[in-house]
Structure 1
Amino acid sequence: MEKKKWKSSLLGLIALSGLVISTVYPGFSTSISAVEQVPEPIAKEESASIVQLHVPNQKALDTLMELDIDLAHRVHEHDGVWEVDAVVTPSEIAMLKVKGITVKNTLINEQQWQERTAERGSAIQQQSQVSAAEDKIQILRANYFTNQSGDFLYIEAKSTAGITSSTALTALWNENGVDKSATLSRKVDYGEYLYHYLLLPIDGKPKSVTINSNLGGTSSQAVTEWLGDDKPGNPKKHYVKDFVDHYMDPTELYERAEKLVKEFPDLVEIIDMPNKTNGYRRHAQATMGSVTTSAVVVTSKAWGHEGGNDISVVFKNPNKNNSSLKVSVDGKNIVVELATNSSGGTTSTASQVVAALNSEASSLVSATTYRGNGGTGIVAPANVVLTDNLKAPNHISRDPFTVKAIRIGKHRDGSKPGVLGYSQEHAREWVTPLVTIETAERLLRNYGHDGETKQLVNNLDIFLVPSVNPDGAHYSFYDYNMQRRNMTNHCGPNASDPGYRNNWGVDLNRNHSVGSVFDGYIGASTSCTSDTYAGPFENSEPEAKNLVWLADKNPNIKFAMNIHSYGGYFMWSPGAYDAQRNTLPRPSAGEEAFYWAASDQILNDIQDHRGTVILPSRTGPIPDVLYSAAGNSADYLWYEKGIYAWNFEVGADLWNKETNRWTAVGFQPGFEEGHEEAMEFANGLIGMIKVAYNHAKDHQRPSSKAVPGSGKYTGPIDVKLEASEPATIYYTLDGSRPTFESEKIRLSGTREFAESLRINKTTTINWFAVDAAGNIEKNYNPIGNGKNYNSVNITIK
């Protein structure tokens, strides 16, 4: 499979538009500039909500796409009217109304986020109380029995810490001289923890079993014969799952990962990625003053947690006539004595105070006028202590974060095909990390007793990144739930006052080097305060570099899943198009067919959990089912690395029978719903891992045929080259040998099937097929001299 890096020449289309919209302050200025503004009060901070917008027609939709509005991953069209979910402030709602776009429903507001946070906090507190207590194991039953189909072991055990899903119990026993182990399933009914249990076919009666908890508890008991009339029938396959019971921040996720390494050292390791994030940290700041032209923004040189939060700044009237402007520094206390006139009134302007602070207190702080205005207003006395405004508890590190990948496999040396699952590029998508950590738990805890899991772990090299964006995720959990980006501020002084603190950062799924906004593709912004800000340049962010590094370092990776929320989509490349809707190159018809065939496996596995169906209208290439996403990571993996790369959007709409309509679930649904999404999409991620396994063991060569075949025809005909399985077909029409440089059979149109070849004159068609596993039809060597390709002669009379 040959992939090229595609760069558009449409450099004039660098930005969606010149409009910059703050999600904090109204005004919607066309740029951040130093132009003097009419004095006006500094606007109060606005909260954001997720709303469902009513977009009346295609023109209004085009207008919405041109604005720097933060769109969620959910777009639905019906009879020419669009429903689009978006994250907006009241000021943005008012602006959109002028353009004919109105709010249909409010889905999530700040109060509901607080409820989600409280719900999570309660679960963490409960888990903490359980973890602090000594874990005790009570074995309720350890039975051996024989029925019409074989011999079986049944165990029930109860842990004092069993109320939490992360508590795992493992049974160990000896079976005919062979040590065996298996993880028990956790049984809960209406929220009450009952016990853990196991039912497995065995080859001989064990004398005893030992139950170990991952928290340290242990207990042993002799195995007894199960007697009685009610003998179980043929049991279902024993497969354990459900290891998450609350939303987890990145610190918790990686602590869980480290525990798995200690528990399963032969099967898993942690990869520390080389590019540290900027860190969950900010400089301490304050905006002193309430009117734009007389306000001064003060920013600490040190990070807030490294001393910036200890700095105090006082603007005072010295109570003297004709006094000059003076700045004094005592430790971390800065005092600005404002200049006065002959009547003792202050006369120092904002620009003068800024200059004095930058001259006399530059070791501690820097100062600017408010958003770069001329600073002509008179500064009023004020007294502040600078703050970084960060609210996470102290156990959340403020230092640069090392992003980690969980690597699972019996052979983790690059000799086995690689599979990558990564989540939380967007910070606010709280369900997505649970998908990866649940998948890791299932692979490791089912390895000892489930044959299919053992095959996957023994024959694949599995990489799982629970949180690509830990800084932004911590900020979403503790400071601003709708944070999408990382926390790196590229704005510079004129957009770096604390009122913009929720507007900083780079959209990591717009920062990659294929089909980017810098190449002229749309769906990203060059405005540093936009929620789809692509960064100052391609691949500028350490988080994006880490993904590139992981793919470079492990060329065995052949499949990848980028896990997002919400809306219930299943998508693949191309992911971006330009203003004329020219997409990045479409996959060949054979590659597209493989994407669809794999989707059938993956989406069926998702459905198995609770019946969730990812709709056909939300399955397919990104531009066909959603919108352009310039510079997304899956496009990088596909076009640069040749990796089959999919995108999950977890959180499919739920059908409400009472209202007879689909209901969106949001980025942070109540955990009951979030849990179900994590379970079903962990099914789907393991489904992709199964696709990778089947792909790796596929050694069957494809076959193909021409319909119609060789013959004489009275006029032009359409010839289809049909393959026995999803395969890319390379062909020539000039009688030459087909090679990998030859034309490929492509799609006949968007969401259509493979093209036909229109033959207008006598032609020889030569071709061969290559399936997704690289098997070449008839063992033909395209770079050799052989002639064992397919050929038909079409004679047109």
Structure 2
Amino acid sequence: MKKKKSWIRNVMVATAMAGLGFSVVAPGFSTPTTAVGQPDLPLPKEESVSVVQLEIPNEQAVEKLLELGVDLTHRIHEHDGKLEVDAVVTPSEVAKLKAHGIHVKDTLITEQQWNARVKERESVSQLQSSLAASEDTIKILRASHYTNQSDTFLYVEAKTSAGDSASTALTATWTENGEEKSATLRRFVDYGEYIYHHFEVPVSAIPSSVKIESNLGGTATSSVTEWLGADKPGNPNKHYVTDFIDHYMDPAELYERAEKLAEEFPDLVEIIEMPNQTNGYRRLAQATIGSTTNTAVVVSSQAWGHEGGNDITIEFENPGTENADLEVSVEGKNVLVELATDGEGKVTSTAGQVVNALNSGASGLITATTYRGNAGAGVVQENSAQLTDNLNAPENISREPMTVKAIRIGKHRDGSKPGVLGYAQEHAREWVTPLVTIETAERLLRNYAHDGETKQLVNNLDIFLVPSVNPDGANYSFYDFNMQRKNMTNHCGPTLSDSGVRNNWGVDLNRNHSVGSAFDGFVGASTTNCTSGTYAGPEENSEPEARNLVWLADQNPNIKFAMNIHSYGGYFMWSPGAYDPNRTTLPRPSAGEEAFYWAASDLILNDIQDHRGTVILPSRTGPIPDVLYSAAGNSADYLWYEKGIYAWNFEVGADLWDKEAKRWRPVGFQPSFEEGHEEAMEFANGLIGLMKVAYNNSKDKQPPSTKANPGTGKFSGPVEVAFETSEAATIYYTLDGSRPTFESTKLQLAGTREPSETLKVDTTTTINWFAVDAAGNIEKNYNPIGKSSQNFNSATITIK
């Protein structure tokens, strides 16, 4: 057993279900088992799920809601004196909630709406595929230069036959004073109709011609003529291209886009293939034969469904003779069960007997169990079934284990530059989050040639973007069950491995990490209920998807900043992310570290707001337990506590204000693409904002300065000593007159969401201290390691 860090509790306690985000298990709220000796009941019917907003009458109902383990999407909040929360529920669950006074106030998304959004996504995807299949045609509508009172500009409009796809990018190249220049054109769409691409940039010399190239292969060239009109509207000095997404993308599309970017920008991009392949978008083929719990037989193929399991048929047959024995025969992929009969020719074989016979006579093809641990004492009936893996994705979606990929962007990708990591879709149902990474990648690459700030970021940072941490689960969410949160690995064992539980299998990848985990007694995940939406897995880091993130951080120690992109609710959070049943959190960041988190947040949240005015509320900004709930074993805590990476969490999809109703409206995991697009655009702003934070931090060579207030002096009674800092910085101090080092006490927060603590001095004390900022600059260039250095700060408080 590996040695745990000092902040890990050494005693094991039962993981409380007091946090939010727990999965529904259809039907009902409890683990779907049928204990031996229960009455023979009809097999439960499958139910659709919806995302709804629940209205909770009182605190007693809240306790009941948590006791039932409903899949809550984010924290319970108060509106007009009433408690509300969004939840993923089935119709039977809604009925049970109603019995406890909990009502559905609003339905955010239904299965019918999900199907409509899938069709919308597929139609755009098909359009892109057809456009990519042939080279596009480009027409240059105009290529002009003009000079106004401030500068000379080049303006170009061009139109491509593949312009209906946002992924079609046009790049202009021209020669300026013997040097080749380039710029990406901006796609202009009005009221859903593609009009043209265009750009406008200042030039130091007028080019004679301009060439337009498409990423699909089309080209066109035009001479540059003078434009005799006036200055173009807008700000011609700022040509920054955005908007490269036009539909929700499944993992195959995400990786295809990433590979194309690497081909197009080989000097700036490489694709990192993670070492731990996923389990794959694949299932065993299954059938539950029978109509009641005590007579049902669950049959599963030995082979994956796509590798032959889907071809298997099972038939239960009355042989038509008296006193027949139970027999199993196999012919190819067909299994025939001739049932036992009595002296009157009536079937006598029970479900349990048929299970034993199948496991004995057809074990090379299938395995069989009774229904969810039932005794199987009921007599089976004649029946037949075709096994199926119940996977509905088209054939072009691979069923094989997937290699998770990261897009690495930077002029210097050798570890010499500070690393920034953005990773998305740990939770499969969060469709917007991968778009944030793709939009960000496109912006960095297509603005590099002509936008100085972008070039600064790409030249001075090492950027890692993982569009989908959980590709198997994402495929399942797109094609089979839209509310899939976890990956697709089934750890339930035979009792809960019939196809009726298939939407509840898997591990919550954001609960599978080794810091503050449920295995160490922290709240917010389950270690025992394999069907829970926050099931942490059989052990820490059991899942390849979680191990990939650990590997990426281990292989690239230059990563100093990270963003875990989730949805929804419009949150912006950081560590600690978990607490124990006594609500004792993982160690809080020092006062200086917390100040840096807040300072960086100000820049990032301002960039988010710039797109359409979205404000991430103060109540949804801060450490995870302060604004949301406990999330045991989350990945951001691993990055912060184990790797020292400043790690934030986006929850994209901020609630929208309904001015007429005077209330906030939640947007859900899979809003209409019109809304999803806006969320991706504004949070791509925020992700690039994080890169600005990283760049500014890398260029910070100025040591912080601090001041104690009061400082050295004589006082008649106890005093409270506060520290002022010139910037966000961690203060290390001693109170015994000794020389401060990195092992000395850090100045902490006074309390949750409070400023720095003060030091109460009631006897004569010498305080020695120094400060370190987030860039590693040490006040006065003091060396805490070298024993000879003495240029730390000191103040003696004399109490008379």
Compared with structure 1, are the counterparts of its residues 24 and 740 closer, same or farther at alpha carbon in structure 2 (3 Å cutoff)?
Answer: closer
Note if contact 1:273-1:404 (Cα within 8 Å) is conserved in structure 2: yes
- Please name the residue that 2:275 is paired with: 274
- Please name the residue that 1:666 is paired with: 668
Deviations 1:693-747 (A, max 9, x none): 0011111100000011111111111100121100000111111111111111111
- Please name the residue that 1:791 is paired with: 794
Partners of 1:140 and 1:595 lie apart in 2 by 48
Alignment of 1:234-273 (within 5 A): 235-273=236-274
- Please name the residue that 1:358 is paired with: 359
Note if contact 1:321-1:344 (Cα within 8 Å) is conserved in structure 2: yes
Partners of 2:694 and 2:63 lie apart in 1 by 39
* 393-402 or 90-99, larger mean C-alpha shift: 90-99
- Please name the residue that 2:137 is paired with: 136
Structure 1 residue 230: Cα displacement: 5.7
Alignment of 1:530-609 (within 5 A): 530-609=532-611
Structure 1, gaps ≥5 residues long: none
Structure 1 residue 32: Cα displacement: 4.2
Partners of 1:26 and 1:451 lie apart in 2 by 56
Partners of 2:176 and 2:329 lie apart in 1 by 80
Q: From 660, 675, 678, give the equivalent of 1:676.
A: 678
State the one-letter code of the partner of 1:648: F
Partners of 2:236 and 2:30 lie apart in 1 by 67
Alignment of 1:332-371 (within 5 A): 332-371=333-372
Structure 1 residue 235: Cα displacement: 1.8
Partners of 1:536 and 1:100 lie apart in 2 by 36
Note if contact 1:6-1:514 (Cα within 8 Å) is conserved in structure 2: no
Alignment of 1:96-111 (within 5 A): 96-111=97-112
SS of alignment partner, residue 792 of structure 1: strand
* 21-30 or 263-272, larger mean C-alpha shift: 21-30
RMSD between superposed Cα atoms in Å = 1.8
Structure 1 residue 76: Cα displacement: 2.1
SS of alignment partner, residue 74 of structure 2: strand
Partners of 2:209 and 2:193 lie apart in 1 by 29
State the one-letter code of the partner of 1:601: L
Compared with structure 1, are the counterparts of its residues 731 and 160 closer, same or farther at alpha carbon in structure 2 (3 Å cutoff)?
Answer: same
Note if contact 1:73-1:565 (Cα within 8 Å) is conserved in structure 2: no
Compared with structure 1, are the counterparts of its residues 78 and 744 closer, same or farther at alpha carbon in structure 2 (3 Å cutoff)?
Answer: farther
State the one-letter code of the partner of 1:535: G
Structure 1 residue 48: Cα displacement: 1.1
Alignment of 1:162-561 (within 5 A): 162-228=163-229, 235-526=236-527, 527-561=529-563
Note if contact 1:24-1:46 (Cα within 8 Å) is conserved in structure 2: no
SS of alignment partner, residue 120 of structure 1: helix
- Please name the residue that 2:703 is paired with: 701
Partners of 1:157 and 1:377 lie apart in 2 by 73
Partners of 1:320 and 1:390 lie apart in 2 by 39
Structure 1 residue 27: Cα displacement: 5.2
Partners of 1:17 and 1:497 lie apart in 2 by 29
Deviations 1:764-785 (A, max 9, x none): 0110000001100001111112
Partners of 1:178 and 1:18 lie apart in 2 by 60
State the one-letter code of the partner of 1:530: S
State the one-letter code of the partner of 2:179: V
- Please name the residue that 2:157 is paired with: 156
SS of alignment partner, residue 391 of structure 1: coil
SS of alignment partner, residue 398 of structure 2: coil
SS of alignment partner, residue 126 of structure 2: helix
Note if contact 2:114-2:482 (Cα within 8 Å) is conserved in structure 1: yes
Deviations 1:365-400 (A, max 9, x none): 000000011110001111111000000000000000
- Please name the residue that 2:643 is paired with: 641
Note if contact 2:733-2:767 (Cα within 8 Å) is conserved in structure 1: yes
Identical aligned residues as a percent: 74
State the one-letter code of the partner of 1:428: R
Structure 1 residue 130: Cα displacement: 3.0
Partners of 2:170 and 2:29 lie apart in 1 by 56
Partners of 1:83 and 1:20 lie apart in 2 by 14
Compared with structure 1, are the counterparts of its residues 437 and 643 closer, same or farther at alpha carbon in structure 2 (3 Å cutoff)?
Answer: same
Structure 1 residue 199: Cα displacement: 0.6
Note if contact 2:34-2:372 (Cα within 8 Å) is conserved in structure 1: yes
Note if contact 1:244-1:438 (Cα within 8 Å) is conserved in structure 2: yes
Compared with structure 1, are the counterparts of its residues 18 and 383 closer, same or farther at alpha carbon in structure 2 (3 Å cutoff)?
Answer: farther
* 219-228 or 252-261, larger mean C-alpha shift: 219-228
Structure 1 residue 50: Cα displacement: 0.8
SS of alignment partner, residue 384 of structure 1: strand
Partners of 1:276 and 1:78 lie apart in 2 by 45
TM-score with structure 2 length normalisation?
A: 0.97
- Say whether 1:726 aligns with 2:728: yes
Note if contact 2:433-2:680 (Cα within 8 Å) is conserved in structure 1: yes
Partners of 1:14 and 1:403 lie apart in 2 by 31
Structure 1 residue 133: Cα displacement: 4.6
Partners of 1:263 and 1:518 lie apart in 2 by 45
* 125-134 or 284-293, larger mean C-alpha shift: 125-134
Structure 1 residue 207: Cα displacement: 1.4
- Please name the residue that 1:691 is paired with: 693
Compared with structure 1, are the counterparts of its residues 191 and 458 closer, same or farther at alpha carbon in structure 2 (3 Å cutoff)?
Answer: same
Note if contact 2:579-2:632 (Cα within 8 Å) is conserved in structure 1: yes
Compared with structure 1, are the counterparts of its residues 796 and 23 closer, same or farther at alpha carbon in structure 2 (3 Å cutoff)?
Answer: closer
Deviations 1:386-427 (A, max 9, x none): 000000000000000000000000000100000000000000
Note if contact 1:19-1:31 (Cα within 8 Å) is conserved in structure 2: no
Structure 1 residue 95: Cα displacement: 3.1
Note if contact 2:322-2:345 (Cα within 8 Å) is conserved in structure 1: yes
Partners of 1:233 and 1:502 lie apart in 2 by 51
SS of alignment partner, residue 366 of structure 1: strand
The number of equivalent residue pairs is: 795
Partners of 1:75 and 1:507 lie apart in 2 by 21
Partners of 1:468 and 1:345 lie apart in 2 by 55
Partners of 1:331 and 1:323 lie apart in 2 by 24
* 232-241 or 459-468, larger mean C-alpha shift: 232-241
Deviations 1:477-532 (A, max 9, x none): 00000000000000000000000010100000000011111111111112101111
Partners of 2:32 and 2:536 lie apart in 1 by 17
- Please name the residue that 1:621 is paired with: 623
SS of alignment partner, residue 760 of structure 2: strand
TM-score with structure 1 length normalisation?
A: 0.97
Structure 1 residue 191: Cα displacement: 1.1
State the one-letter code of the partner of 1:729: I
Deviations 1:263-298 (A, max 9, x none): 000000000000000000000000000010110000
Structure 2, gaps ≥5 residues long: none
SS of alignment partner, residue 650 of structure 1: strand
Partners of 2:259 and 2:145 lie apart in 1 by 35
Structure 1 residue 655: Cα displacement: 0.5
Partners of 2:302 and 2:520 lie apart in 1 by 35
Deviations 1:43-94 (A, max 9, x none): 1011111111223344543443454321213542347642111111122223
Partners of 1:730 and 1:374 lie apart in 2 by 65
Note if contact 1:406-1:465 (Cα within 8 Å) is conserved in structure 2: yes
SS of alignment partner, residue 705 of structure 1: strand
Partners of 2:484 and 2:90 lie apart in 1 by 13
Partners of 2:518 and 2:580 lie apart in 1 by 9
* 128-137 or 300-309, larger mean C-alpha shift: 128-137
Structure 1 residue 29: Cα displacement: 4.8
State the one-letter code of the partner of 2:503: N
